[in-house]
Structure 1
Amino acid sequence: MTPVDSTPPTGRPLDLPNISLAPKVLLHDHLDGGLRPATVLELAREVEYADLPAADAESLGTWFRDAADSGSLERYLETFAHTVAVMQTPSALARVARECVEDLAADGVVYAEVRYAPEQHLERGMPLDEVVEAVLAGFAEGEAQAAAAGRPIMVRCLVTAMRHAARSREIAELAVRYRDAGVVGFDIAGAEAGHPPTRHLDAFEFMRANNAHFTIHAGEAFGLPSIHEAIAFCGTDRLGHGVRVIDDITLPEGADLAAESFEGAELGQIANIVRDKRIPLELCPSSNVQTGAVNSIAEHPFNVLARLRFRVTVNTDNRLMSDTTMSKEFYRLAQQFGYGWADFERFTVNAMKSAFIHFDERLALIDDVIKPGYAVLLG
């Protein structure tokens, strides 16, 4: 498919420099998937980790991107062995968290929820609480530096349990224990096949009992059954990815995936409940291609879901592995589907409405930051 012209009829050109100025909201970003290659190298030297596949930052960045382009979620996840290995001390965690905030703020992100699995950072003896406190300290330092540089950003944390392990209840308790300190929710992640979300019902029940938020990685590699379980049995607030909800939608024969309307599309029960309940989809276009959830950006169902008025949001997933930023994700979607500033404002407001902070904080960012920012770009 030939990319469409993404220059909006009014306002500033929709190019990368201008997109970087747009206020953006990020709900699905992994801390251990967003390190700077140079930081990986420096931290590896500090902890004497000798298994990195490249010795300079440029080559290492290329290796991560190429290794992640496997078409398999399981093989994609193998790349994290190297980043997690160098994030095993309080100082390393705080540095990575601070740099994460700096990088997001430089890209125009005004609110972000960044997730990581505390249980993966215990190899050098840190207890779970120390892991969380180190990351929160790094986020706070990054926020202060971003504000001083004139790019204010609010960053909150999701703690993740690994779905193949048996610590989800413990991590859920951690989320509740630190929810007044910057942890706004809970998640499960990892390979979906063979590890259904219902294995962790006690953790989700604990979160609901404590009026706490959670999202679930579902509908990325395993399809509709994982989405069904996440909603019907676990009661998730959002769907991490959720891209395979498209499998429950029948499009008119010969439909162009870049069309502006999909009149006549038929939604099944799962797709209908996702849309009816306004369950946010944390879509990560570039990552979805790398893991084989979709074949290409051109075949990504993002536009179908957006035009059918699902609550779609744009996310990075793992900036290092996908060699991406929020601005690059916006630009790729604009090039493929012809979106303009008004579309990206809608996607950004979708994300802000779906954030796990309180209503008044969400509303303030929409009214005082997001809408004024897009008004400038719309002209």
Structure 2
Amino acid sequence: MRTTTPAAAGAAAPAVAAPPSLDVLRALPKVSLHDHLDGALRPQTIIDLAPGAGLDLPTTDADDLAAWFLAQSTTGSLVDYLRSFDVSTAVLHTAENLERVAREYVLDVAADGVVHGEVRWAPELMATADLSLDEAVEAVHAGLRAGAEEVRRAGGRTTVTQLLCAMRQNTRSVEIAQLALRHRDHGVVGFDIAGPEAGFPPSDHREAFELLAAHHLPVTVHAGEADDLASIDSALLDGRALRLGHGVRLALDVTDSPDGPVLGPTAAWVRDRGIALETSPTSNLHTGAVAGWGTEMAHHPFDLLRRAGLAVTVNTDNRLMSATTLTADLAALVDAFGYDLSDLEAFQVTAARAVFAPQAEREALVGAVRDGFAALREAA
């Protein structure tokens, strides 16, 4: 946590800037790297689509359903957390529903100030005998484009691309990698593995990662959320990860000291190569990812990782399950660690530089983020 030097005796105490308000935080230009489509549905949309999917819900009141998801997702167990997806994915087995949810996703993140996002999802969980993998990806692509156009017509600007996830406990990763390659010119910019981390190392999917590397498609890997350094090492070495999904348990390889954080070999490797950590502070508390450090946001190792020089970014993971937004997560970090606008700008610039896009697009995004922060400072 930040500290200030006490004022000299008799001297006036230094002025302390007030933390940015929620309205300011919401207006900040944001970049989202780690958000699951099936963890971002509107509760009312689930209610609307449930009858057609033959799904019995615990409640048909949107507020009560949102509360139900949050209760299911705050046990401190990633495995328990993932069970709530059985409900959200049950309504995503048609192209029409996938397109609607993708369109609404863009509208919702745009309203939260996201100027660019990558949304990830697992086609193997959505495809059925009546909906092929390719048709599912095409439906999401259509929905994302429709949402972006609706935002543009309203005077805003948001772009959202896709990351395709293979479920790490299954054996379809090569098939999903091939799917991602088929759609790389139609909105798919990268690949991931998701699902229960412990017991399902990235090395199980080495063939898929080698295929993607051979075709130069970027990879991010869920690692360091529900397993420790061995999982992160496998993501880096077997998965050739350019980013780490969460990666918060990399803090196990960082020792705080009076002279500053001391990094072990894995943490130093990640820092020296600028491999971004897709931390999701609220979700990390809910899933128990940071239980070894504590149960409150002030215990989250986010600030330790930041001070260690690692490329930390802020994300939501699953906005429905954790009842959060990027604005809310940033507000929680501001409250816990006293961050100011310069810190928040640094997090967004780091995320902009880590997006899976050509360099020119990344630099343009960095410029847009910096311009947005400058405009807000001038208006203050």
The TM-score normalised by the length of structure 1 is 0.93
Please report how far the alpha carbon of residue 267 of structure 1 lies from its aligned counterpart in structure 2 after TM superposition: 1.1
Match of 1:205 in 2: 210
> Residue by residue, what CA displacement relative to the aligned partner does 1:183-238 show, whole Å, maximum 9, x if unpaired?
00000000011111100000000010001101000000111110011112221111
Counterparts in 2 of 1:42-53, with a 5 A limit? 42-50=48-56, 52-53=57-58
Match of 2:90 in 1: 85
Match of 1:106 in 2: 111
Q: Does 1:17 align with 2:18?
A: no
Q: Distance in 2 between matches of 1:365 and 1:228?
A: 30
Decide which moves more: 267-276 or 105-114: 267-276
Decide which moves more: 356-365 or 133-142: 356-365
Q: Distance in 2 between matches of 1:124 and 1:60?
A: 29
Contact 2:278 2:313 (C-alpha < 8 Å) held by counterparts: yes
| 1:113 alignment partner, SS class | strand
Q: 1:270 aligns with which of 248, 251, 266?
A: 266
Q: Does 1:375 align with 2:380?
A: no
> Which amino acid in 2 is paired with 1:32?
D
> Residue by residue, what CA displacement relative to the aligned partner does 1:231-285 show, whole Å, maximum 9, x if unpaired?
1222111100000000011112xxxxxxxxx633221111111111111000000
Please report how far the alpha carbon of residue 125 of structure 1 lies from its aligned counterpart in structure 2 after TM superposition: 2.1
Contact 1:216 1:230 (C-alpha < 8 Å) held by counterparts: yes
Please report how far the alpha carbon of residue 80 of structure 1 lies from its aligned counterpart in structure 2 after TM superposition: 0.1
Contact 2:221 2:235 (C-alpha < 8 Å) held by counterparts: yes
Contact 1:341 1:377 (C-alpha < 8 Å) held by counterparts: no
Q: Taking structure 1 as reference, are residues 358 and 30 closer, same or farther at Cα in structure 2, changes over 3 Å only?
A: same
> Which amino acid in 2 is paired with 1:269?
P
Match of 2:339 in 1: 339
> Which amino acid in 1 is paired with 2:302?
F
Q: Distance in 1 between matches of 2:259 and 2:284?
A: 26
Counterparts in 2 of 1:62-211, with a 5 A limit? 62-123=67-128, 125-211=130-216
| 2:27 alignment partner, SS class | coil
Match of 1:27 in 2: 33
Please report how far the alpha carbon of residue 55 of structure 1 lies from its aligned counterpart in structure 2 after TM superposition: 1.9
Q: Distance in 1 between matches of 2:34 and 2:101?
A: 17
Q: Does 1:357 align with 2:363?
A: no
| 2:162 alignment partner, SS class | strand
Q: Taking structure 1 as reference, are residues 109 and 303 closer, same or farther at Cα in structure 2, changes over 3 Å only?
A: same
Aligned length: 364
Q: Distance in 2 between matches of 1:296 and 1:160?
A: 30
Q: Distance in 1 between matches of 2:366 and 2:253?
A: 32
Q: Distance in 1 between matches of 2:209 and 2:238?
A: 9
Q: Distance in 2 between matches of 1:152 and 1:2?
A: 34
| 2:76 alignment partner, SS class | coil
Query: Any gaps of 5 or more consecutive residues in structure 2?
Result: 5-14
The 4+ residue runs of structure 1 with deviation greater than 4 A are: 1-4
Please report how far the alpha carbon of residue 150 of structure 1 lies from its aligned counterpart in structure 2 after TM superposition: 1.7
Contact 1:334 1:340 (C-alpha < 8 Å) held by counterparts: yes
